[in-house]
Amino acid sequence: MRQDGGGLIFLMISHDIGQTFNLPFLADLFSDNEERYPSLRYLVANDIPYDTKSSFSLYINHRQTFTGITDNDRATTMKGFADLSISTKQMSKDNALEQLGASFRTPGHVPICVASEKPLTNRFGHTELAVALLTMSGSSPVAGGCEMMGDNGKALSKSQAKTYAKQHDLIFLEGKDIIKSWRTWSE
């Protein structure tokens, strides 16, 4: 992802997993602390052109990492979070929170994005698309993602992404096809 994607590498998780770990949205943390840190009042993200609220939550590092930024450290963090998310299905909420704290620290180098409660209903971002795909496949709804950047510093166009997929023998899915399948599957 770092070499061929170039954008921010992040985790995408379902709303339910976010609730299990009681993960806050950064926007809420910031607005709740405007009195203490007035700069947050001026930095409010009330002009996001694609949505009403960012899905970003905490940034984490696995406790077994060093700086957290290397490829191995980020892979350890992402895999560890996915593994913990699966194992929490058998835990109480308090135990899940204890395990989260035992395994991870914040701030870190892997941002977590939490999907909306009803994916692909009122929000149609990468996080919701990934969670919908994983849910439909019966997999744990935790995925790693990265925006693919071109040499011009902008996101790859759809045709460039299709070319990349073909060159690397990958399946190319369009968001509209995932949304269509989700609507049929979730009825």
| Residue-level pLDDT at 46 | 81
Distance between CA atoms of residues 101 and 120, nearest Å: 31
Distance between CA atoms of residues 183 and 161, nearest Å: 25
Burial class (CB in 10 A: 0-12, 13-18, 19+), 161: middle
pLDDT above 90: residue 36: yes
Annotated domain spans of the chain: 6-148
pLDDT > 70: what percent of the chain? 99
pLDDT tier at 45, thresholds 50, 70, 90: confident
- Domain 6-148 falls in which CATH fold? DHBP synthase (3.90.870)
Both tokens assigned to 85: 């998310």
Average pLDDT over residues 150-174: 93
The bridge status of strand 142-148 relative to strand 6-13 is: antiparallel
Distance between CA atoms of residues 2 and 144, nearest Å: 12
pLDDT above 80: residue 5: yes
- What pTM was computed for the model? 0.92
| Element holding 17 (H helix, E strand) | helix 15-20
| Residue-level pLDDT at 53 | 75
pLDDT above 80: residue 136: yes
Per the CB < 8 A criterion, the answer to whether 51 and 92 are in contact is: no
